[in-house]
Chain A
């Protein structure tokens, strides 16, 4: 079927359903079925030869089910995204040292661009000498420039504390955990987020702690027939999250008690930051496992007040607290505010909350089609991303159960499931297009972290997936670059990525697209901090208006499309 026939079919369906909203642009039509896969799995071919181990000994230690996250960030400042992934290790006291893996890995992106523009991804393991192969059981990772030196630093979350690594340039790092004061002592965190809470120009750090757990008092939870399995988090009890205020140059103070108003210990997993109420100050949403999710609303005085329940975001529309894992914020309906997606347990289904612009949310999971289609999956990493560059944010979720699957005798960790890809139909509904996305989507893995970014700088969003007890996956997007796109790196005067900056993409006769610079969201992972916006078939160079994290606004007319452009604060109008 050609593109024209595809358009006609969609138009007919839309008419039968009452018609698409007036704001839906013509490029909202479904892409024609592709002769080639939309995504190709290229991890091994590109040199990302990482296999995760959770250290499982058969004693069902709870932390084993959580990792790994994965980070996409420019470690060496050469303009492309490198890859970091934390590693597990045996948790049993008498673990066989031979089982211990090689630790976390850092892969340098050696992207090759041929004269004809052909791009080939090549990664080189540069862990040795990088300073990143630190001790501990790694779970997730957050990325941000904590000392405003223009180099992206890493916060590696873990069981029994986390570690902060300062980027010293050229892919080398120094462990500054102790000096920074942000080590989350006694904590047990998967996800964290760097966010400038107080608009002082320094990235603060939110750490979502999970449960109070020690291997010495570990327990197993038999199912109804007596089969032992991992316990739910409520068996251990939640740990309070932590907020660290950046005092400047990478020194932090724990301001949890004074700054998080209404904090209760809950089993936190995913974190996403965005300005949900449109006041220009960053807020935080936290996915809690089996307990109400947090919505931390910025009070503009260095504190945040928890308001998930009255905002309609803490629970499902029915009032249930579900097992929230991954979370991300994005303007999926292109109405200018940040909506929220949260992945959940099998039988609960992914939840989609639509924002009314004032941080009041409505659960539209069922109506959107995402809720029903995801019920069979236990979701973890997820993000809003426009995989086909049609100007509407789509959703990918990586999945894996927490109940052992039958007939997986060959697997050390039989908890695998397939991924899900949902295409935004531009009318509030989503279509499950997993089957059309390529053979990589037919693979069943224990997906956990997922990081989203344009690894080959070709204008569409690729995905790197951290699989528990399995190989890392690299899904190279081969469909998005067929349409126009806008790529922006937003930097401060000091050269750092301006996480939290919001971008309005304005084109004559088209609805304004709102996107933001963020590295957080998903699950235990760090995303491309650059801003990507699909433009569909529109070749018009748009006006870009940036609302910086400090509240200032600037605009740039006729910004070039189909290429990556850096916009630095203070150089616009």
Chain B
């Protein structure tokens, strides 16, 4: 028996003796204190935290404290255990907290989430219903209950709760997202599309909507919209505002908890807060290389590149396997134009993690910029060996081949990529650009490029596509039209405040005005 448990037992004995065998809580008996699980694998700070709260609970239990106080004390332990992701141990503490304070909404709410995390939807449902009995207008509980019912395939009941949440909070995207999925499950694709579009109208970044919206449009036979939304899908969650669960996320005093908070701050673009949280974590774990790396990333975002570099260096000093820190150091070097140093950093990152694609692409870029195009080509091809459709690597390969004077091979590479992914704008555009700018006259084909560019323009107009259009017109000898297009682009770039682009466009404008075509497929700034 641990010292703590022995102490608790002695306290109970003392309490019972002191009251001549009567309960400390007349008529209801003493509160049983559940045992703690094995805490020894946890961070020392968390062990201390949990043991202190547990001692507080046992002390109050032994002293016969009022129910509300006991409930809070039991719940505090339960929440810590839940935040620490113990699969079983939180349950008895949360159960006691709820029993001791039947009117308190929080405990059934947390129990519901505990059961959701354990994959017990029926128990979660019952607990959410108890929470709602105490606080019927809680939108978060209504939405989560709806989600739980969706998991159980009970779409009618789910709809009722999502609708109730929406009635209480008409701007709730989580409720409307739920209603959309209920409609989709019920086969009402039109209603589903309506709900999903409403979510996107309120929040264009709600990327989770795109996939089910794509399915709704597919069911309605609108394949164009279905494809459009399928391409926009991303991993994203649409969650209700949920202060209790946010509190749970921040309850632990552990390096990992501060790391999580720092990551949340980064996601919210609150760089200063992120720096603060990561530094808090490092006070608990000063040798945590990953945290040093995250701190460096946050510092870099605040603009303090010197401090960021120091943090990255500390990360690799502590852990020579910290490939992310090597990568980040390489990025700093590359941005500073120190390509030789960058090459060393990226090479180190790849040596540790050979499949680290971003590092390999950055390495290729620095190699190419240091006149090592053949080495760069090898790196792009290494990426393509694992993922033949990787757009940046394929374009990089083609650009490097062109740099090496192998225009025919560059065109062939882009043609193959285009054939494999005809819907890809990147490959089509790259191919068109090369067909009109290649140094090798045997490769140039202005008419074919014009067809490709005309098709691309139908899908949307961008500055760089406009540049390719002007290049194409110049290659076809239509210099007056090329000049007109280029002047429009110049105006647009000036309005957008893009000085580097303005210089590039102006350079080619002068070329076209002199009735000379462009023979530079991509300038330095256009390279990946």
Interface residues of A (CB under 8 A from B): 212, 217, 219, 222-228, 236-240, 257, 260-265, 309-310, 312, 315, 317-321, 346-347, 349, 366-369, 371-372, 374-377, 401, 403, 405-407
* B184:A375 contact, CB within 8 angstroms: no
Chain B min CB distance to A419 (Å): 15
**Can you list 10 A-B contacts (CB < 8 A)?**
A222-B43, A224-B83, A227-B43, A237-B356, A260-B388, A318-B208, A319-B211, A367-B185, A372-B151, A406-B88
Provide the residues of chain B in CB contact with A320, threshold 8 Å. 235
Provide the residues of chain B in CB contact with A374, threshold 8 Å. 119
- Enumerate B69-117 residues with CB–CB distance to A below 8 Å: 83-89, 116-117
* A225:B83 contact, CB within 8 angstroms: yes
Provide the residues of chain A in CB contact with B457, threshold 8 Å. none
* A366:B152 contact, CB within 8 angstroms: yes
* B83:A366 contact, CB within 8 angstroms: no
* B256:A223 contact, CB within 8 angstroms: yes
Closest to B116 in A: A347
- Give which listed residue, B38, B155, B387, contacts A264 with CB less than 8 A: B387
* B87:A265 contact, CB within 8 angstroms: no
Provide the residues of chain B in CB contact with A368, threshold 8 Å. 153
Closest to B236 in A: A319
Is residue B354 within 8 Å, beta carbon to beta carbon, of the partner chain?
yes
* A405:B121 contact, CB within 8 angstroms: no
Provide the residues of chain A in CB contact with B89, threshold 8 Å. 406
- Greatest chain B CB density within 10 A among A239, A319, A371 is at A319
- Enumerate B345-404 residues with CB–CB distance to A below 8 Å: 352-356, 385-390
Provide the residues of chain B in CB contact with A346, threshold 8 Å. 118-119
* A369:B385 contact, CB within 8 angstroms: no
Provide the residues of chain B in CB contact with A260, threshold 8 Å. 388
Categorize the interface residue count of chain B.
Answer: 35 or more
CA distance A240 to B230 in the complex (A): 23
* A261:B85 contact, CB within 8 angstroms: no
- Give which listed residue, A217, A317, A372, A403, contacts B121 with CB less than 8 A: A372
Is residue B146 within 8 Å, beta carbon to beta carbon, of the partner chain?
no
* A263:B256 contact, CB within 8 angstroms: no
Provide the residues of chain B in CB contact with A405, threshold 8 Å. 87-88
**With contacts A319-B208, A375-B121 known, is A222 near B88, CB below 8 A?**
no
* B389:A403 contact, CB within 8 angstroms: no
Is residue B150 within 8 Å, beta carbon to beta carbon, of the partner chain?
yes
Provide the residues of chain A in CB contact with B390, threshold 8 Å. 264
Chain A min CB distance to B384 (Å): 8
Q: Which 5 A-B pairs have the closest CB atoms?
A: A226-B43, A319-B211, A375-B119, A376-B119, A225-B84
**With contacts A224-B252, A225-B84 known, is A375 near B151, CB below 8 A?**
yes
* A261:B388 contact, CB within 8 angstroms: yes
* B387:A349 contact, CB within 8 angstroms: no
* A312:B215 contact, CB within 8 angstroms: yes
* A265:B355 contact, CB within 8 angstroms: yes
- Give which listed residue, A228, A312, A319, A372, contacts B153 with CB less than 8 A: A372
Provide the residues of chain A in CB contact with B230, threshold 8 Å. 309-310
- Greatest chain B CB density within 10 A among A236, A240, A372 is at A372
**With contacts A312-B215, A367-B153 known, is A225 near B46, CB below 8 A?**
yes
Is residue B181 within 8 Å, beta carbon to beta carbon, of the partner chain?
yes
Chain A min CB distance to B421 (Å): 8
CA distance A367 to B154 in the complex (A): 8
Closest to B187 in A: A362
Is residue B233 within 8 Å, beta carbon to beta carbon, of the partner chain?
yes
* B119:A227 contact, CB within 8 angstroms: no
Provide the residues of chain B in CB contact with A262, threshold 8 Å. 389, 420-421
CA distance A304 to B4 in the complex (A): 62
CA distance A222 to B211 in the complex (A): 32
Provide the residues of chain B in CB contact with A377, threshold 8 Å. 119
* A407:B355 contact, CB within 8 angstroms: no
Chain A min CB distance to B382 (Å): 12
* B181:A317 contact, CB within 8 angstroms: yes
**With contacts A257-B385, A262-B389, A367-B153 known, is A347 near B256, CB below 8 A?**
no
Chain A min CB distance to B426 (Å): 15
* A224:B256 contact, CB within 8 angstroms: yes
- Greatest chain A CB density within 10 A among B212, B257, B323, B356 is at B212
* A375:B185 contact, CB within 8 angstroms: no
CA distance A406 to B87 in the complex (A): 7
* B46:A240 contact, CB within 8 angstroms: no
Chain A min CB distance to B66 (Å): 30
Chain B min CB distance to A8 (Å): 26
CA distance A257 to B384 in the complex (A): 9
Provide the residues of chain A in CB contact with B328, threshold 8 Å. none
* B153:A317 contact, CB within 8 angstroms: no
Give a binary string over B135-157; 1 marks a CB under 8 Å from any A CB, 0 the rest. 00000000000000011110100
Chain B min CB distance to A345 (Å): 9
CA distance A397 to B440 in the complex (A): 61
Provide the residues of chain A in CB contact with B46, threshold 8 Å. 225-226
* A315:B119 contact, CB within 8 angstroms: no
- Greatest chain A CB density within 10 A among B120, B184, B235, B420 is at B235
Interface residues of B (CB under 8 A from A): 37-38, 41-43, 45-46, 83-89, 116-121, 150-153, 155, 181, 184-185, 208, 210-212, 215, 227, 230, 233, 235, 252, 254-257, 260, 321, 323, 352-356, 385-390, 420-421
* B321:A240 contact, CB within 8 angstroms: no
**With contacts A309-B230, A366-B151 known, is A227 near B42, CB below 8 A?**
yes
CA distance A224 to B79 in the complex (A): 13
CA distance A99 to B94 in the complex (A): 43
- Give which listed residue, A224, A225, A257, A376, contacts B118 with CB less than 8 A: A376
Closest to B226 in A: A310
* A317:B184 contact, CB within 8 angstroms: yes
- Give which listed residue, B84, B152, B153, B208, contacts A227 with CB less than 8 A: B84
* A225:B252 contact, CB within 8 angstroms: yes
Provide the residues of chain B in CB contact with A228, threshold 8 Å. 41
* A317:B212 contact, CB within 8 angstroms: yes
CA distance A128 to B84 in the complex (A): 48
Chain A min CB distance to B514 (Å): 45
* B41:A227 contact, CB within 8 angstroms: yes
* A318:B83 contact, CB within 8 angstroms: no
* A212:B355 contact, CB within 8 angstroms: yes
Chain B min CB distance to A538 (Å): 31
Provide the residues of chain B in CB contact with A309, threshold 8 Å. 230, 233
* A212:B353 contact, CB within 8 angstroms: yes
CA distance A227 to B41 in the complex (A): 5
CA distance A319 to B88 in the complex (A): 30
CA distance A263 to B256 in the complex (A): 34
Chain A min CB distance to B185 (Å): 7
Provide the residues of chain A in CB contact with B119, threshold 8 Å. 346-347, 349, 374-377
Provide the residues of chain A in CB contact with B120, threshold 8 Å. 375-376
Chain B min CB distance to A184 (Å): 14
Chain B min CB distance to A83 (Å): 32
Provide the residues of chain B in CB contact with A222, threshold 8 Å. 43, 255-256
* A225:B353 contact, CB within 8 angstroms: no
**With contacts A228-B41, A265-B387 known, is A372 near B87, CB below 8 A?**
no
Provide the residues of chain A in CB contact with B352, threshold 8 Å. 217
* B37:A224 contact, CB within 8 angstroms: no
* B215:A263 contact, CB within 8 angstroms: no
CA distance A407 to B91 in the complex (A): 14
CA distance A405 to B86 in the complex (A): 8
Provide the residues of chain B in CB contact with A238, threshold 8 Å. 355
Chain B min CB distance to A428 (Å): 10
Provide the residues of chain B in CB contact with A237, threshold 8 Å. 353, 355-356
Beyond A222-B256, A257-B385, A347-B117, 20 additional contacts (C-beta under 8 Å) are: A222-B255, A223-B256, A224-B84, A225-B42, A225-B257, A227-B42, A240-B386, A257-B388, A261-B389, A263-B386, A312-B215, A317-B212, A321-B235, A347-B119, A366-B153, A367-B153, A368-B153, A372-B153, A406-B86, A406-B89
CA distance A240 to B212 in the complex (A): 28
Chain B min CB distance to A505 (Å): 30
Provide the residues of chain B in CB contact with A317, threshold 8 Å. 181, 184-185, 212, 215
* A319:B233 contact, CB within 8 angstroms: yes
